């Protein structure tokens, strides 16, 4: 009987070639092992896919089989493999439904187009690898695909429009964080079951296709951080399942379609950082349960949509940096769920006393840079942490019970029209870090006892009286700004010992009297000392030169003010002749301004030790003596104003070593001598040196008449030489004339025979001429 | 409905908000930042150059006029290395360009000829090479041009004689060639302004010989 005709033998042969549960040596395992050996490094697969671990490959880690023993899932997560997918024979896995490779930092190369042979694939999940190249169009063959995630890789090229033609089972489509370019394909309209669409963090361009309106089951739409332009299509109103829509950080333009207000499930709408304009449908929020709306950094106009809180669940509203001009009182009145409200930098004109109701969880409010008016409300936010109302038109007094909050960290009421006193409940707050009340008409200040206070800005009010009582030994206070008030009395000496971390002391434009306290030199961290425009007398204490923080250039460690992320320091000064506001660069500036006082005596020599000092203004005082000889040691000095004093002596030559000096004023003093030359001194206007009678040399028109001035001296010599020449010529002419005259007539006078000879000769000549003349006439 | 994780992450962002407006679109600041991006600055002289500010007028070593336009750039002796870029030419109101005593290299960009308000150009004591651009003859307000102690080559552009306001010029210690113009302001410059240029042949002989011989 022939071998192959025996049914039993045939069965045995068949069984040996099929994949059984007990000993699977079929093509699937072979393909896996072949791929593993193609890798540069197999990582954990050496151990995970080993017959030592388990006889049955279906029990190997990451491999899942069905009842027939065919591989249906392949999962590789954080396995440290190093290689590509190129040698993975996809056609060996006809039953594969899940391919999941995640966090393989060394899985590179392209996705092979053979992946399209995995006909049964339902989940293709390739996340956080280093895959490159384009998305293979063959994915369009995967008609059973329900989850396509190729995110956080390095894919490039555009999304092939073909892949959505046959993959209508897709529920989850995630391609975020790649380098994809091109437009979003219109074929996306075929994905009628799609619930999640994530294209964030790519370089997609073009407009959002109107086809997107067909995605009626989509709950999450993430298109943020791309380069999309054009309009948001009004078909978005058809996406009735939409809950989360992120469009931020694109170049979207035109208006927000009014249809967006009809979406019944919309919960979060983030539009920040686009160029959207026009006004927003006031019914936005009427039909759904909005939680978070971010409209900031666009060009929206008109009213802030009034229905935003209608759903009863609004948590966060950002609308800053637009051109909104109104806010209805009903918008926020009953918004008791509100946690965050940012409407700053708009043009909103509204009565702030009508804007709020009671907001138990309201934590952050920023209404700055608007036109809110009216009086401050009270008892409205008991848990508030940040309240910024600066630059509005709010008036009246701070009411009792304004803020019952025990959490308040930043309060800014600056740049309003507020009056009256500062309530103790504010200045005694145990949580308060920044208190900014500048540019109002506050008149009275209680004892300030806030133990965590870091910045105190009271400038430009009408406070009177002595330097305010501040609790001694505040380890936290960094900035004291009392400028532009009517404080009087002496600058207290206890400042020096009380504020170990003080960096900014600004007492400018008050009526302080007396001497500058020596103890100020104990402020080891002081960078900014502005005592200008007061009535201070006495000398500049020599000990100021021991201020450590001004002795060195501030290094890159500008960390203090940057860490202070809640509020960026805002200091006003006159910088290079113009008003300026220092904000981000505050941490880097070392300045001393003692100008406009009655300070007398010398400029201490030791002041030149302050090598980190950038700005020094001692102008408009009664300083006398000389400018310190070694002023060239102050190598950071950029602005130096010593004008309107009684300084005498020369301008030190070392001043020409200051290569950063760009603003200098030495005018109105008694300085003498040659102006130094070289480097920066060749760039200053003569006005910088004016009204100093004895100064000479470039750039002043008057030259110095000493031996040291070489070119000027030579010119003088030349002129003298010329004069001498002329005199010699005249002398020699006169001499020659006199000699000639007397030689002739002298002879005539003193020698008779010579006289006769001459006259005889002349007679003869006369006869000859008469004869000749007579002959001519005939 | 409880906040989702998305909302919680948005909530934590609020603590890091900045009060000031987000983006600055000041083109002079952008030009200076482009300039800075080519440079190596070991002394951190440019650390205050923060482009998020609305203009560069509070940056150290930059001076503006009353309309916030840059009029001075003072970076002498800063230990800066790198090339000068064309973007400096965008500072249309710049009067004083003080870049002396550094390690600037590469060519002098011809865009510096666009600085129509420039009064003083001090590029001396650097490693600049290439030719002196003819476009510098457009700097009609220029009074001081000091480029001594570099590695400049080529001839002195004759077009520079049209700079009638030029009072001080120093091209000494370079590798210039050809002849020295004698017209216009060049008649007032002393010979020291051109010394130590081995291949510079002396004053031009008008009408007698071609200008750029030996160059």
Tens-digit pLDDT profile for residues A638-666: 999 999 999 999 999 999 999 999 999 99
Which residues from chain A sit within 8 angstroms of residue B76, using beta carbons?
Answer: 659-660, 679-680
User: HEC string of A532-587?
Assistant: CCCEECCCCCHHHHHCHHHCCCCCCCCHHHHHCCCCCCCEEEEECCEEEEECHHHH
CB contact under 8 A, B63 and A566: no
Are B47 and A663 a contacting pair at CB < 8 A?
no
Cβ atoms of residues A373 and A348 within 8 Å: no
Residue A43: count of CB within 10 angstroms of its CB: 20
Per CB-CB distance under 8 Å, the chain B contacts of A388 are 19
What CA–CA distance (Å, rounded) separates A270 from A282? 17
**Angle at CA A563, nearest 5°, toward A559 and A568?**
105
The structure tokens listed for A329 are 């009182």
**How much is the pLDDT for A543?**
72
Q: What's the helix, strand, coil split of chain A in %, to 5?
A: 25, 20, 55
Chain A residues whose beta carbon lies within 8 Å of the beta carbon of residue B11: 316, 339-340
Residues listed for chain A? 778
Q: Tell me: pLDDT of A723 over 90.
A: no
Q: CA A397 to CA A420: how far, in whole Å?
A: 5
Closest-CA residue of B relative to A387 is B19
More confident residue, A500 or A76: A76
Judge contact between A237 and A212, C-beta under 8 A: no
For residue A585, the chain B residues in CB contact (below 8 A) are 48, 50, 53, 58-60
Instruction: Read off the pLDDT of residues A96-105 as tens digits, 9 standing for 90 and up.
Output: 999 999 999 9
Would you call A366 and B22 a contact, using CB atoms and an 8 Å cutoff?
no
* Distance from the A427 Cα atom to the nearest Cα atom in chain B, whole angstroms: 23
> How many residues in chain B?
215
Mean residue pLDDT across chain B: 86
Touching A: B residues 173-212, CB under 8 Å: none
Answer with the residue of higher pLDDT: A492 or A469. Answer: A492
Residues of chain B found within 8 Å of residue A679, distances taken between Cβ atoms: 76-77, 100
The Cα A470–Cα A174 span in angstroms is: 58
Nearest to A588 among B48, B52, B72 (CB): B48
Residues 6+ apart with CB under 8 A from A12: none
Nearest to A580 among B19, B48, B58 (CB): B58
Nearest-by-Cβ selection for A568 from B14, B20, B58: B20
pLDDT of residue A23: 41
What is residue B211's predicted lDDT score, i.e. its pLDDT?
55
pLDDT over threshold 60, residue A42: yes
Both tokens assigned to A196: 């999640």
Residue A497 or A549, more confident? A497
The strand pair at A571-575 and A578-582 is best described as: antiparallel
Identify the band that residue A447 occupies on the pLDDT scale cut at 50, 70 and 90: confident
B166/B193 Cα distance (integer angstroms): 13
Of B47, B77, B168, the CB nearest to A659: B77
Query: Pick the residue with more confidence: A523 or A755?
Result: A523
CB of A696 within 8 A of CB of A702? yes
Are the Cβ atoms of B50 and A584 closer than 8 angstroms? yes
pLDDT tens figures, B145-203: 999 999 999 999 999 999 999 999 999 999 999 889 888 999 999 999 999 998 888 78
Q: Do B144 and A588 touch (CB under 8 A)?
A: no
The answer, for B41 touching chain A at a CB cutoff of 8 Å, is no
pLDDT over threshold 50, residue A164: yes
The verdict on a CB contact (< 8 Å) between B60 and A345 is no
pLDDT digits 0-9 by tens, A597-630: 999 999 999 888 888 899 999 999 999 999 999 9
Q: How many CA atoms, within 13 angstroms, populate the side-chain half-sphere of residue A126? A: 23
Q: Do A585 and B48 touch (CB under 8 A)?
A: yes
- Do the Cβ atoms of B76 and A660 come within 8 Å? yes
Q: Are A481 and A571 in contact (CB under 8 A)?
A: yes
* Confidence label for A471 from pLDDT (cuts 50, 70 and 90): confident
Q: Does the beta-carbon distance from B44 to A555 stay under 8 Å?
A: yes
Q: Let me know: does A503 contact A478? Beta carbons within 8 Å.
A: yes
Quote the Cα angle for A245-A247-A250, to 5°: 175
Distance (Å, whole) CA A341 – CA A361: 11
DSSP A108-145: -SBPPGGGGG-TT--EEEEESS--BSPPPGGGGG-TT-
Q: Is the dihedral of CA B59, B60, B66, B69 positive or negative?
A: negative
CB contact under 8 A, A568 and B19: yes
Find out whether B138 and B160 touch, Cβ atoms under 8 Å: no
More confident residue, A228 or A378: A228
Residue A460 pLDDT = 96
pLDDT at A713 over 50: no
Q: What is the pLDDT of residue A143?
A: 94
Q: How far is A579 from chain B (nearest CA, A)?
A: 9
Looking at the DSSP bridge assignments, the partners of residue A147 are A123, A172
Q: What is the pLDDT of residue B124?
A: 97
Helices A710-750 + A752-777 axis angle, to 10: 90
Binary contact (B98, A663; C-beta < 8 A): no
Res. A730: pLDDT tops 80: no
Most confident of A454-463, A721-730, A732-741, A762-771: A454-463
Residue from B1, B3, B8, B17 to probe the interface with A (highest A Cβ count within 10 Å): B17
Phi, psi of A419, deg, nearest 5: -135, 180
The closest CB to that of B44, out of A339, A556, A566, belongs to A556
| Minimum-distance CB partner of B3 among A291, A321, A388 | A291
For the ranges A8-17, A108-117, A582-591, the lowest mean pLDDT is seen at A8-17
CA-CA distance, A46 to A83, in Å (whole number)? 14
The nearest alpha carbon in chain B to A289 belongs to B1
Give the pLDDT confidence of A373-418 residue by residue, as tens digits: 999 998 888 889 999 999 999 999 999 888 788 889 999 999 999 9
DSSP 8-state code for residue A606 = G
Is B60's Cβ below 8 Å from some Cβ in A? yes
User: Which residues in chain B have their CB less than 8 angstroms from residue A556's CB?
Assistant: 44, 47
Global ipTM? 0.83
pLDDT digits (tens, 9 = 90+) for B12-32: 334 434 433 333 348 999 999
What is the full DSSP assignment across A229-282?
BSPPPGGGGG-TT--EEE--SS--EEPPPGGGGG-TT--EEE--SSEEEEPPPT
> Taking CB atoms and an 8 Å cutoff, what residues of chain A touch B71?
none
Write down the pLDDT at residue B14. 42
Smallest Cβ–Cβ distance between B96 and the set A267, A339, A683 belongs to: A683
Least Cα separation, residue B209 to chain A (angstroms)? 34
Is the pLDDT at B135 greater than 70, yes or no?
yes
In the predicted model, what is the mean pLDDT of chain A?
A: 87
Convert the pLDDT of each residue in B30-51 to its tens digit: 999 999 999 999 998 998 898 8
**CA dist B46 to A406, A683, A694, A731, A754, Å?**
42, 21, 38, 69, 99
User: In this structure, how many other beta carbons lie within 10 angstroms of the beta carbon of residue B32?
Assistant: 24
Q: Which of A299-313, A541-555, B152-166 has the lowest mean pLDDT?
A: A541-555
Q: Which of A703, A677, A710, A700 is nearest to B190 (CA)?
A: A710
Find the helix or strand (DSSP H, E) in which A530 lies. Answer: strand A528-530
B2 close to A (CB below 8 A): no
Interchain proximity A580–B7, CB inside 8 Å: no
| A673-696 confidence digits (pLDDT tens) | 999 988 899 889 899 999 998 999
The predicted pLDDT at position B105 comes to 96
Mean pLDDT, residues A3-24 taken together: 49
The reported pLDDT for the residue numbered A724 is 62
Share of chain B above pLDDT 70, in %: 84
Q: How far is A49 from chain B (nearest CA, A)?
A: 37
- Adjacent-strand bridge partners of A504: A479, A528
CA dihedral in degrees (A24, A30, A35, A40; nearest 10)? 90
């Amino acid at each position: 009987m022939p071998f192959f005709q025996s049914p039993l033998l045939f069965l045995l042969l068949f069984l040996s070639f099929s994949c059984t549960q007990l000993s699977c040596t079929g093509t699937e395992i072979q393909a896996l092992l072949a791929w593993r050996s193609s890798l540069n490094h197999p990582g954990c697969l050496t151990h995970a896919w080993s017959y030592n671990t388990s006889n049955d490959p279906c029990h190997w880690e990451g491999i899942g089989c069905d009842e027939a023993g065919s591989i249906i899932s392949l999962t590789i997560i954080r396995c440290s493999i190093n290689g590509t997918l190129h040698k993975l024979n996809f056609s060996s896995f006809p039953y594969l439904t899940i391919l999941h490779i995640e966090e393989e930092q060394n899985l590179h190369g392209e996705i092979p187009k053979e992946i399209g042979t995995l006909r049964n694939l339902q989940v293709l999940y390739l996340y956080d690898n280093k895959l490159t190249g384009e998305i293979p169009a063959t994915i369009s063959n995967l008609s059973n695909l329900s989850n396509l995630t190729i995110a956080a890789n390095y894919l490039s090229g555009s999304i092939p429009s073909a892949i959505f033609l046959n993959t209508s089972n897709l529920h989850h489509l995630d391609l975020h964080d790649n380098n994809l370019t091109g437009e979003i394909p219109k074929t996306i309209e075929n994905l009628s079951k799609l619930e999640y669409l994530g294209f964030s963090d790519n370089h997609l361009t073009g407009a959002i296709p109107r086809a997107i309106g067909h995605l009626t089951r989509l709950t999450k739409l993430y298109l943020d951080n791309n380069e999309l332009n054009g309009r948001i299509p009004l078909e978005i109103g058809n996406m009735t399942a939409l809950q989360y829509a992120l469009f931020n950080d694109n170049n979207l333009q035109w208006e927000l379609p009014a249809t967006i207000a009809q979406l019944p499930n919309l919960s979060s709408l983030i539009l920040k950082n686009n160029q959207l304009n026009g006004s927003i449908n006031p019914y936005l929020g009427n039909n759904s349960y909005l939680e978070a709306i971010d409209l900031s950094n666009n060009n929206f106009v008109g009213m802030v949509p009034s229905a935003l809180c209608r759903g009863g669940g609004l948590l966060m509203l950002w609308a800053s940096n637009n051109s909104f001009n109104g806010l209805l009182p009903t918008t926020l009145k009953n918004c008791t769920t509100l946690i965050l409200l940012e409407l700053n930098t708009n043009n909103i004109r509204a009565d702030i006393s009508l804007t709020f109701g009671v907001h138990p969880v309201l934590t952050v409010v920023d209404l700055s840079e608007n036109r809110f008016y009216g009086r401050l409300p009270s008892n409205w936010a008991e848990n508030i942490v940040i309240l910024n109302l600066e630059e509005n038109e709010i008036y009246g007094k701070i009411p009792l019970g304004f803020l019952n909050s025990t959490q308040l960290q930043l309060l800014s009421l600056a740049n309003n029209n507020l009056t009256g006193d500062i309530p103790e409940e504010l200045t005694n707050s145990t949580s308060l870090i920044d208190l900014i009340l500048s540019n109002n008409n506050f008149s009275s200040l209680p004892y300030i006892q806030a133990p965590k206070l870091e910045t105190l800005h009271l400038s430009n009010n009408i406070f009177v009286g002595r330097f305010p009582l501040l609790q001694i030994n505040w380890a936290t206070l960094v900035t004291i700004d009392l400028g532009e008030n009517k404080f009087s009395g002496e600058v207290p000496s206890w400042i020096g010992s009380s504020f170990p971390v003080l960096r900014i002391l600004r007492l400018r434009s008050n009526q302080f009297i007396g001497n500058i306290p020596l103890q100020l030199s104990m402020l080891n961290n002081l960078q900014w000392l502005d005592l200008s425009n007061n009535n201070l007398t006495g000398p500049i204490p020599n000990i100021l030169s021991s201020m450590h923080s001004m002795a060195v250039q501030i290094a890159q460690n500008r960390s203090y003010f940057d860490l202070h992320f809640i509020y960026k320091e805002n200091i006003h000064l006159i910088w290079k002749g113009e008003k300026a506001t220092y904000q981000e660069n505050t941490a880097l500036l070392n300045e001393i301004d003692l100008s406009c006082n009655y300070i007398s005596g010398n400029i201490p020599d030791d002041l030149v030790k302050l090598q980190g000092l950038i700005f020094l203004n001692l102008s408009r005082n009664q300083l006398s003596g000389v400018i310190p000889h070694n002023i060239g040691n102050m190598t950071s000095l950029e602005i130096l104003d010593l004008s309107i004093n009684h300084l005498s002596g020369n301008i030190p030559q070392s001043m020409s070593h200051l290569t950063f000096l760009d603003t200098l004023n030495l005018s109105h003093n008694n300085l003498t001598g040659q102006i130094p030359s070289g480097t920066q001194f060749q760039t200053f206007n003569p006005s910088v040196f004016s009204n100093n009678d004895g100064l000479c040399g470039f750039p002043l028109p008057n030259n110095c008449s000493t031996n040291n001035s070489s070119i000027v001296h030579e010119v003088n010599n030349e002129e003298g030489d010329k004069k001498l020449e002329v005199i010699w010529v005249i002398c020699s002419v006169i001499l020659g004339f006199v000699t000639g005259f007397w030689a002739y007539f002298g002879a005539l006078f003193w020698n008779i025979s010579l006289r006769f000879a001459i006259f005889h000769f002349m007679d003869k000549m006369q006869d000859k001429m008469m004869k000749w003349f007579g002959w001519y006439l005939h | 409905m409880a906040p989702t994780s998305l909302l919680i992450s948005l909530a934590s962002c609020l603590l890091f908000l900045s009060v000031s407006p987000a983006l600055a679109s000041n083109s002079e600041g952008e030009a200076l930042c482009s300039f800075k991006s080519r440079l190596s600055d070991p002394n951190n002289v440019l650390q205050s150059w923060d482009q998020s500010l609305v203009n560069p007028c509070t940056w150290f070593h930059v001076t503006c006029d009353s309309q916030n336009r840059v009029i001075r750039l003072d970076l002498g002796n800063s230990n800066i290395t790198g090339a000068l870029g064309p973007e400096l030419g965008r500072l249309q109101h710049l009067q004083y360009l003080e870049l002396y005593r550094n390690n600037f290299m590469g060519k002098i960009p011809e865009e510096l000829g666009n600085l129509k308000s420039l009064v003083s150009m001090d590029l001396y004591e650097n490693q600049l090479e290439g030719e002196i651009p003819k476009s510098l003859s457009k700097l009609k307000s220029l009074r001081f041009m000091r480029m001594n102690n570099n590695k400049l080559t080529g001839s002195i552009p004759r077009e520079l004689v049209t700079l009638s306001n030029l009072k001080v010029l120093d091209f000494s210690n370079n590798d210039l060639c050809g002849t020295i113009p004698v017209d216009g302001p060049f008649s007032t410059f002393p010979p020291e302004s051109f010394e130590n240029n081995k291949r510079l042949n002396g004053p031009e002989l008008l009408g007698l010989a071609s200008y750029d011989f030996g160059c």
